[in-house]
Structure 1
Amino acid sequence: MFKHLRNDIPASIVVFFVALPLCLGIALASDAPPLSGLISGIIGGIVVGLISKSKIGVSGPAAGLAAIVASAITSLGSFELFLSAVVLAGIIQLLFGVLKMGVIGYYFPNSVIKGMLTGIGIIIILKQIPHFFGYDTEAEGADTFLEPSGENTFSAITHIMDNITFGALIIGVVGLIIILFCYNILSKKHGFFKIIQGSLIAVLVGTILQIIFSSITDLAIEGKHLVEVPVPNSISDFGEFLSFPDFSQIFSLEILTIAFTLALVASLETLLSVEATDKLDPEKNITPTNRELFAQGFGNIASGLIGGLPITQVIVRSSANVQSNAKTKMSAILHGILILVSILAIPTILNHIPKSVLAAILIVVGFKLAKPSLFKKMFSLGWTQFLPFIVTIIVIVFTNLLYGIFTGLAIGFAVVLIKNYQNSIFLHKKETENASVIQMTFAEEISFLNKAAIQKELFSLPENSRLELDIRKTTYLDYDIVEILEDFVIQAKNKNIFVHLMSEKGIVDNPTSFVEFFKLKKESN
C-alpha cells in the first residue's frame, strides 16, 4: 500500500475534489442532512478502502440510491429510523458475501459494461454543463433524466443562456484550460506536473479568482454556486451535526423491506462498478467480488451508525482514480482522510471553491469515459456487440443507470438467443439420384435454447429424404432436444425419411428410439 505514494497521493487529491461536491449533492438529492453525504464519503474511503481488495475502486454515496433514500426517509418519517435500515442493509450485504453472491457481477456482458461506462461519461458531461456555466438548479451528482426542478437533462442545457453566471463561467473555462494544458503538454515535459496535477492547480486558481471576483459586482458568485460544507463554531460542535440510528422499529416490516432493497441495489451497483473499474484498470487487476460485498457491508454498518448515507463502489470516483494514475487502494483511503480533515479543519476555505471549476474536472473525466473512438471500435465488432452497447447508453441517458443496465442485459440475452438459434446446427444439402440428402451436424453444446432451430429443420425435411445426423462433436445434449428427436422418429417413419446417425460409438441406421443414441452419447462422454 505504501510503495506507490508518488502516484496515490496526487490521485487521492483529484478524487477528493471530485467526491466532495458529489457527496454533498447526493445528500441534497436524497433529502438527507448535508453532513450525511460527507460521512459516507469518509467511511467509503477509509473503512471500505481498508477492507476491500480493490486496488483502484472508490466507494461512497451513490446517485443511483438517491431516489430510494429520499422515499424511505419520507415514508419512515425520521432520518434516525432510516439509519437503522442502513445498518441492517450492511448486515444483509455481509450475508450476501457469505452466500458468495458476488459471482453475479461476472454475468454481465462486456458490451453492456462498456455501454454503462460510456453512458455514465455522457451523463457526467451533460449534467455538468449547466454547473460549468453557473446554472445550479440541480444538485451535483444527480444522474436521472427527469430533474426535481421540472427540468430534464436537455432542457436544463437549453436554458443555460438565460441563467449564466459570468464569474462562474470564466472560472470554469480557466479551470478547463489549465487541466487540459497540464494533462496534454506539461505532464509530458515535466515530472512535477504528474505529482501536482492540473485538477489541483485548477481548483486553487479557481478559488483565488472567486475571492477576487467577490469584490467585482458583475463577476461576484453567489453562495449557491459554491461548495456548501457545514461550518460549526468549533471542532467539538461537529457532534451537533451527527445523527444516530433509532433501532426501536428495527424489525418492523417497513424497515426490513427498505433494508433489503438498499442491500440489493447497493450490492448490484457495487458489482457493476467493480466489473467496470477492473476493465478500466491498465494493470487489469481482478477484484474479489465476495470480499467486496463484505467491505461494503462493514462500510454501510459503520456509515449508518454515525449518520451516513448508504455506500456503494461508484464508477465516477473510481474512473477519476484510474485516470489520475492511482496504483493501490491507498488513494481511496487517503481521499477519505482528506474529506475528514478538510471538513474538520478548513470548511470555510472549502466553501470558497466554485462548482464551475469542479464541473470542469468532471467534464474531463466524462470525456475520457465516452471517447468517440470507442463508438467506432464497438461498431466494428458487429451488431451483437454494438446493439447492447448503444441501447445501454441511450436508456442510461434518458432514464437512469439501473434501467440502462437491465435493458442492456435484456438486449444481450436476446442476442444470445438469436445466436443460439443460428449456430446450433450446421446443414449441408445435396441431391442424389434417389433422394435428397441432408447432412446435419450438431454444435458442441445443445440446450433448450436451441429447440426452435432444430425443430424447424427436422420437421421441414421432405418425404423420401435421407438425414445424416452427426453428434460426434457434441459434448452436451439437453433432454428437451431428445424429446424433439423422439417425436421426429415417429414422423420420419410416416414420411419415409431414412436416418443415418453418427456418434463416437459407431453408426446407427434408422434408430427405433433416439433414447438409444442419447445413451450412447452419455457413455462416450
Structure 2
Amino acid sequence: MQITNRIHFRNLRGDIFGGITAAVIALPMALTFGVASGAGASAGLWGAILIGFFAALFGGTPTLISEPTGPMTVIMTAVIASLTAANPDNGLAMAFTVVMLAGVFQIIFGVLKLGKYVTLMPYTVVSGFMSGIGIILIILQTAPFLGQAPPGGGVLGTVQNLPQLIANINPLETLLAGLTVAILFLCPRKLKKLFPPQLLALIVGTLIATFFFGNDQIRTIGTISVGLPSLQLPTFSATQLQVMIADALVL
C-alpha cells in the first residue's frame, strides 16, 4: 500500500512556480486567520506551512493546495476561547491537541470509507452552513475593521457592543481597512493575472501604514517569532480528554 504521493521531477519548473504562487496567496490569509483564531499570526503562518507540506505528501489529490480556511478558523476560535477560559494554564495546548485528534478521526473515517455518505447531505444544508460561517467571520472582524480590539463573547459580544464600537471608531484604521477591501474587490482583471490581489492589498496597506501613520495611530500585528515552535507534552485529566474528543469530532 502506497502511503505517500510520488514525487515527479518532470515538471519541476512548473511545480516550483506553482508553489511560489500558492505561498504568496496563502501568506496574507494565513496571518489573518491566525490572528482571527486567537492563536496569533505565527500560528497561522506555521499552520499554512505544515498543512501545505503534509497535505501534498499524504493527501489523496497531489495537485490540491491546502491551507487554513475561514470555516475552520471560526470553529477553532470557539474551541480556543472555550478551552483557554476553562483551563488558563494549558488551554492552548489542549486546542492544538484537538487538531491532532481531529486528524486521527479523519484518517479513521477515510479507512472506513465514510466519505461517500457526505453525498447524502442536502446542498441547502451545506449552503446554509457556509453562509453562516461567512456572516460569523464578518461580525468577528467588525471590531478590528473599526480600529478596536475585539470584545469578549464572540459573535454575541460583538453585536451587543456594536453601538460602543461605532461610537469609538478609529477613522484612520477604518479608512485603511476600507482601502484594503476595495483593492480586493476592485483590482483589475489584468492585474490579477500578474499579482494576487490578497498580496497586493497586504503590501499597499502596509506601505501606507508605515510611511503615513505612526504606531500610536495604527495598531499592528506585532513581532512574529522566527524560530521553530517549542514542543510540549502536557498531561490531561479524563474530563479534559472527553472535552477534547468532543471538539475533535466537531472539527
In 1: Cα distance, 2:93 partner to 2:132 partner: 34
Q: Give 1:202's aligned residue.
A: 201
Name the structure 2 match of 1:176: 181
Q: CA deviation at 1:110?
A: 0.5
Quick check: 2:25–2:198 contact (8 Å CA) kept in 1? yes
Give the match for residue 155 of structure 2. 145
CA contact (8 A) 1:14 1:200 kept: yes
Change (3 A) 1:145 1:76: closer
Secondary structure at the counterpart of residue 159 of structure 1: helix
Q: 1:145 to 1:25 in 2, by over 3 A?
A: closer
Query: 1:43 maps to which residue?
Result: 50
2:124 pairs with 111, 120, 125, which one? 111
Listed as ranges, the matches of 1:332-411 within 5 Å are: none
Match in the other structure for 1:230: 224
List per-residue Cα deviations over 1:149-178 (Å, max 9, x = no partner): xx33x3444334322222212222332333
SS in 2 for 1:62: helix
1:63 to 65, 74, 79: 74
Partner-residue secondary structure (3-state), 2:38: helix
Partner of 1:460: none
Distance 1:52 1:228, change over 3 A: farther
Report the AA paired with residue 261 of structure 1.
A
Alignment of 1:316-327 (within 5 A): none
Cα distance in 2 for partners of 1:88, 1:173 equals 39
Does residue 18 of structure 2 align to residue 13 of structure 1? no
Which of the numbers 155, 168, 171 marks the counterpart of 1:166?
Answer: 171
Confirm or deny: 8 A CA contact 2:146 2:170 kept in the other structure.
yes
Deviation at 1:111, TM superposition (A): 1.0
The residue aligned with 1:127 is 140
Distance change (3 Å), C-alpha of 1:163 and 1:14: farther
Amino acid at match of 1:105: V
Percent sequence identity over aligned pairs: 23
Matches of 2:20 and 2:80 in 1, distance apart?
A: 32
Over 3 Å counting, the alpha-carbon distance change for 1:11 and 1:122 in structure 2 is farther
What amino acid maps onto 2:67 in structure 1?
V
Note if 1:245 corresponds to 2:245. no
In the alignment, the residues of structure 2 paired with residue 257 and residue 88 of structure 1 have an alpha-carbon distance, to the nearest angstrom, of 12
Residue 260 of structure 1: which of 240, 245, 249 is its match? Answer: 245
Normalising by structure 2, we get a TM-score of: 0.72
1:145 aligns to what SS in structure 2? helix
Question: Letter of the aligned partner of 1:44 in structure 2?
Answer: I
Aligned residues: 234
Q: Could you list the per-position Cα deviations for residues 159-213 of structure 1 after superposition, in whole angstroms to 9, with x for gaps in the alignment?
A: 343222222122223323333332xxx32xx3x5312133322221211111123
Deviations 1:268-320 (A, max 9, x none): xxxxxxxxxxxxxxxxxxxxxxxxxxxxxxxxxxxxxxxxxxxxxxxxxxxxx
Decide whether the 8 Å contact of 2:32 with 2:41 is kept in 1: no
**Which residue pairs with 1:101 in the alignment?**
114
Tell me if the contact between 2:74 and 2:136 (Cα under 8 Å) persists in the aligned partners.
Answer: no
Instruction: Quote how far apart the aligned CAs of 1:113 are.
Output: 1.1
CA pair 7-81 structure 1, distance change in 2 beyond 3 A: closer
Q: Are the aligned partners of 1:26 and 1:63 in contact in 2 as well (CA < 8 Å)? A: yes
Partners of 2:56 and 2:65 within 8 A in 1 = no
Return the offset for 1:62: 3.0
- The amino acid that maps onto 2:230 is L
SS at 2:155 equivalent: coil
Match of 2:6 in 1: none
> Any unmatched runs of 5+ in structure 2?
1-10
Structure 1 residues 127 and 34, CA, compared in 2 at 3 Å: closer, same or farther? closer
TM-score (norm 1): 0.38
CA contact (8 A) 2:55 2:66 kept: no
Amino acid at match of 2:192: F
Match of 1:307 in 2: none
Seen in structure 2, the aligned counterparts of structure 1 residues 11 and 35 have a Cα distance that, compared at 3 Å, is closer
State which structure, 1 or 2, has the greater radius of gyration over its C-alpha atoms.
1
Equivalent pair of 2:24/2:199 in contact (CA under 8 Å): yes
| Partner Cα separation in structure 2 for residue 122 and residue 88 of structure 1 | 28
CA distance in 1, matches of 2:134, 2:80: 24
State the distance in 2 between where 1:112 and 1:103 align. 17
Q: 1:177 to 1:25 in 2, by over 3 A?
A: closer
Supply the distance in 2 between the matched residues of 1:262 and 1:216 (Cα, whole angstroms).
38
Distance in 2, Cα, partners of 1:17 & 1:80: 23
Structure 1 gap ranges (5+): 267-525
Report how far residue 77 of structure 1 moved. Answer: 4.6
